[in-house]
Structure 1
Amino acid sequence: MNNVHSCGGGISTNGHPRASRRWVGEITRKKFIDSPLYRPRDIVKDVFRDYGINLPYHKAWHGKEVACKDLHGDEALSFDHLRWYAAAVMNMNPGSYVELECTLEDHRFRRVFISFGVVIAGFETGCRPMLFLDGTFLKSKYQSILLAIIAKNGNDGLFPLAFSVVDQETEDNWLGH
């Protein structure tokens, strides 16, 4: 694309009617594959540099959402697939333990706990009887928390035993499984 414009149409005005969120998502999708931390303000700079368009921040934000949804799927739909995934883990991985819990009132996601059968067997046969607990925030629309239970194997390596995604880090969520 030639960035030198001779038409005098003033494309670098604030925004552009054809610079939709879908268009922004399409031109930035590859960048998110290479750099998942690509920010909306970086999109604004890159669109101005590459296309001469002063993109409003909100359009860059929505374009980022479109690109991420195209690459990773719809977050809300992913929660709907949890029941299917829990059943598939139990059917395909004998000895696994999966617990999915939703609120009674509105059936909203509360927590999911997963430990695969082969991992449980590996812990019983080759790990020290000591567990390490850790948690981290998941940066997403739903602000979930990832909790992990880790053991040490015979070679002092880390051995992930189980993980849980919860709505908030509480004692009940740590001990409830």
Structure 2
Amino acid sequence: MANVKAIAKYFEATIGDHPKMKLREIQRRVASKMHVNVNMTRCRRAKKMVKDKLAGNFVHEFAMLWDYVDELRLNNPGSAIKMAVTRVTPKSPPHFKRFYVCFEALKRGWKEGCRPILGLDGCF
């Protein structure tokens, strides 16, 4: 008999790639791959377990973005680095919105190399 953890582990990649997969499809795949008949409740719990694990990974990776911003600012002084997040309420956790980086070397290269060729004069 296949328990929920075994189903979740065996089909983690499949459910991760297809998060909207129907429970009947999971049940059919368990029957064909593991040669076990399972009920819909086990499939539902396994799918939820995989989704919760993936959501936890997203939270961990989002937390690492702040460290990445700090490292970029430390190692690339003068660079423009902006990360925008949104919050539903002031106490709610932040949701990633956008990330912008313009390295100082690129800005300097543009000003010294390409700008004289284009001849920007301020007229539009």
Structure with bigger strand share is 1
Name the residue aligned to 2:72: 89
Matched, 1:51 2:25: no
Query: Offset of 1:110 from its aligned partner?
Result: 4.2
Other-structure match for 1:121: 106
Measure how far apart 1:47 and its partner are: 0.7
Deviations 1:100-150 (A, max 9, x none): 4454631421444312224x938x94xxxxxxxxxxxxxxxxxxxxxxxxx
Q: Where do 1:139-150 residues align within 5 Å?
A: none
**May I ask how many residue pairs the two structures share in their alignment?**
104
CA contact (8 A) 1:79 1:109 kept: no
Question: Is residue 2:22 matched to residue 1:37?
Answer: no
Percent identity at matched positions?
A: 12
Question: Structure 1's 102 and 83: CA in aligned 2 closer, same or farther, altered over 3 A?
Answer: farther
In the TM superposition, residue 23 of structure 1 has moved relative to its aligned partner by 0.6
With normalisation by structure 1, the TM-score equals 0.41
Q: Is 1:109 aligned to 2:90, yes or no?
A: no
Aligned-partner SS, 2:83 = strand
Structure 2: tracts of 5 or more residues without a match: 111-124
The structure 1 residue matched to 2:4, chosen from 18, 21, 32, is 21
**TM-score, normalised on structure 2?**
0.54
Post-superposition shift, 1:93? Answer: 4.6
Q: Against the structure 1 CA distance between its residues 90 and 55, is the aligned structure 2 distance closer, same or farther, given a 3 Å change threshold?
A: farther
Q: Aligned residue for 1:98?
A: 82
Q: 1:50-89 deviations in whole A, cap 9, x for unaligned? A: 3343323343243234446667852333343343233233
- Structure with the bigger RCO (C-alpha within 8 Å, sep 6+) is 2
Aligned-pair RMSD on alpha carbons? 3.7
Q: Aligned partners of 1:24 and 1:121: how far apart in 2?
A: 49
Question: Rg: which structure is higher?
Answer: 2
Structure 1's 85 and 42: CA in aligned 2 closer, same or farther, altered over 3 A?
farther
Per the alignment, do residues 66 and 110 of structure 1 end up closer, same or farther by CA in structure 2, a change over 3 Å counting?
A: closer
1:107–1:89 CA distance, 2 compared to 1 (3 A): farther
